[in-house]
A and B are shown apart, each in its own frame.
Chain A
Amino acid sequence: MGFFVDVLLSGVTNGMVFAAIALSLVLISRATGVVNFAQGAMAMFTTFVAYSLLVQGIGYWPAFVVAVAIGFVFGGVVERTLMRPLHGRSPLNPVIVTIGLLVVLEGVAGSIWGNTSRKFPAAFSQNGLVIGTTRVAFSPFDFFIVGAVVALVAAIVALFRWTDLGLRMRAAAFSPEVARLLGVRVGRLYTLGWALACAAGSLAGLLIAPLTSFSPYYMDLYLIYGFVAAVLGGLVSPVGALLGGLTTGLAISFAGGYIGSDVEPVAALALLLIVLMARPQGLLGGSAARRV
């Protein structure tokens, strides 16, 4: 029983960080139809910047804020320089460019910071809470993760639902031509969407780094789990990303706990294939009409 609860709790924590990555993928995908495979590497890069600042003696929270801010700028710059020229070409091209960016960033980070596994500090204690006499696999830092991701999703939903900017962003994603005719600066909103997504990705990177051995490749698997979560959620809605993240987190946690940690990626692959075969539009997504 204790083991089951531990697996369940770690599944929830994992699910939340997957949801954060899924959210950063969804923000870009719903606006421009591009899945940003460089998201993990960009988050890795900003987290390494935060790490360098921490080593310099700057406190945790300033480094945290700086990393998220750098992620915001970084996302906007990537959209302007790499994605904009490809607009309107075959969907293969932006995907290949983001994969190229992924490798470049990992190579650059590797040559700056080396391939040694490090320990990234956590904001709060990572020791499990003691309930009664047993210690469960849920620490104050895990509380922070859950809280941060839920707050992030709530903020994004609120942005889209109740602000003028969110309305413009939805309009630009829904029908770029009509939005442009109505005076919406669609290009700027694409840039903003990328910037927001990469800020969210940076947050995810900072949350994940203490959970794993921190090296230039630490985001590879998390990115792909986040992708599975995003597909589960239908690649369009923030709430779908949250639920998809939870589902993926629990599935992977149980597969890892009861079969072996090496099968986790294969379990994720199986989950992804089952979802794509059975409900290609995701668990929450409606059916999409396609004009031919």
Chain B
Amino acid sequence: MTTRVTPPPVGNLAPAPSAVRRLARSAERVRLPRQPLVRNLIFFVLGGAFFYVITVSVSAYNDFQIGEIALYAVVLAGLSLLTGLNGQFSLGQGAFMIVGAYTLALLQLHAPMNLALELVIATVVAAAAGVVVGVPAARLSPPYLAGVTLLLALGLPQLADQYGSVFGGEQGLTTTMPVAPGSISSEQWLAWIQIFCAMVVILLLANLVRSRFGRNFRAVRDDAVAASISGIHVARTKVLAFAISAGCAGLGGALLALSTGVVNVGEFPLSLSIALLAAMVLGGAGSLIGIWWGAVALVYVPTWSTSLSKHLSLGTSAAAYLSDAIFGAVLIVAMLVAPTGIQGGIRWVLRHLWAAVTGAPDVAAAAAAGGGATPGAPAEIAPVAIAPARQKGRRARAPAVHPHIWHNAGQKGEERT
């Protein structure tokens, strides 16, 4: 394995001016709070403010689209956790969205109550459906898991047709948009609700990632046998991850039902489930920031492909095919070329910029931080043992996989020297 190597001299990068370097050093001293909850709350407030500024300054239609981005971010957050952190994946997120959407519509139809309560119930019901699917799925390896969830995405919509008297058949059920208070436009109010849900979900998941559960998820992903020897209940951990991702999909589905005003299975085709997977891979599996790239793609790629097919005069029906094909191509290209997705690329660029500015090679620490989020990429072997002073600050970002997970033991141990 790797041996300890002294940091190579920085010859290929131009030495940064000392003023910039000093600025970078002082920026390094300003650290975010170590407490994950406090740090995540800061991000929560900043993100909320960011979205508030955007929603009040754009048109109602754009508000509607921003709301859609937020609701897809909810779905993708769960999927990203499932794949990036737990190494499972699902082609059935569309099916769980159906569960959430129909739960909301049925509640509004038969037992109307507070919207927040309805959304919570929709989430819980979808999470329960996730447990039902997750219990057998937890025993399966990726190809089987793909098959089971693919069948779920294809089969569940047909049940809605079979029991048309309950689920409204092909027309589906209608939902009522929440009434906006005061002079706020209804699109803006809906967008705020959706953004708020997205921020809360991401806050909760960001904390979960840092908790014991998040550590267990990663341990199971990296080596199920070692994790079980370390006292982690592997199946329960996998089912929990599956249920959380299903709950996120259910909430997203319920929010989508609010946006569209109508729930029918035609809105959740198999291609939606696959597009969700593609968007998650595009953003970068396991990254709670990366999901926003994926969510933007989910909303805007269909729009762009419509205008592109108009531009190429392909006819109206070609637009849908084009956007499907784009998402498929994204899956292939991302897996072959950039398994860490957009966020992985951004991290790579930032890491090298940072190294150039501060004049210190920082590859190992950043690789440790980035490598943890990559399900598919081979574990990067950190070639350089870094000075303890730098390591101390970075440690909070290193993946919390314990050194006693054997096949990683050598390299993880070295990173900590």
Contact = CB atoms under 8 A, between A and B. Distances in A.
A107 B335 contact: no
B148 A262 contact: no
B314 to A, nearest CB: 6
A273 B136 contact: yes
A9 interface: no
Given A93-B376, A99-B146, A111-B322, A268 B151 contact: yes
Given A99-B91, A100-B335, A262-B162, A92 B83 contact: yes
B150 A37 contact: yes
Contact of B321 (A34, A91, A110): A110
Given A91-B143, A111-B314, A103 B331 contact: yes
Contacts of B336: 82, 85-86, 97
B229 to A, nearest CB: 10
Kindly name the residue among A34, A82, A93, A216 whose own CB sees the greatest number of chain B CB atoms within 10 A: A93
A129 interface: no
Interface residues of B, number: 54
B281 interface: yes
A1 B322 CA distance: 49
User: Which of B142, B277, B278, B321 has its CB near the most chain A CB atoms (within 10 A)?
Assistant: B321
B331 A100 contact: yes
Nearest to A107: B325
Interface in A101-138: 101-108, 110-111, 114-115
Contact of A100 (B150, B328, B376): B328
Contacts of B155: 265-266, 268-269
A35 B152 CA distance: 17
Interface string B308-322: 000000100110111
A101 B324 contact: no
A273 B274 CA distance: 22
B184 to A, nearest CB: 39
Interface in B136-180: 136, 139-144, 146-148, 150-152, 154-156, 158-159, 161-162
B136 A82 contact: no
How many of chain A's residues touch chain B, expressed as a range?
Answer: 35 or more
Interface of B: 83, 87, 89, 91, 136, 139-144, 146-148, 150-152, 154-156, 158-159, 161-162, 225, 270-271, 274, 277-278, 281, 314, 317-318, 320-332, 335-336, 339, 375-378
27 contacts: A85-B336, A86-B335, A90-B142, A91-B141, A91-B142, A92-B83, A96-B335, A99-B146, A100-B330, A100-B332, A103-B278, A107-B323, A110-B321, A115-B321, A216-B321, A224-B147, A224-B150, A224-B151, A228-B147, A262-B159, A263-B162, A264-B158, A266-B159, A269-B148, A272-B148, A277-B139, A280-B140
Interface of A: 29, 33-35, 37, 82, 85-86, 88-93, 95-97, 99-108, 110-111, 114-115, 216, 220-221, 224, 227-228, 231, 260, 262-266, 268-269, 272-273, 276-277, 280, 292
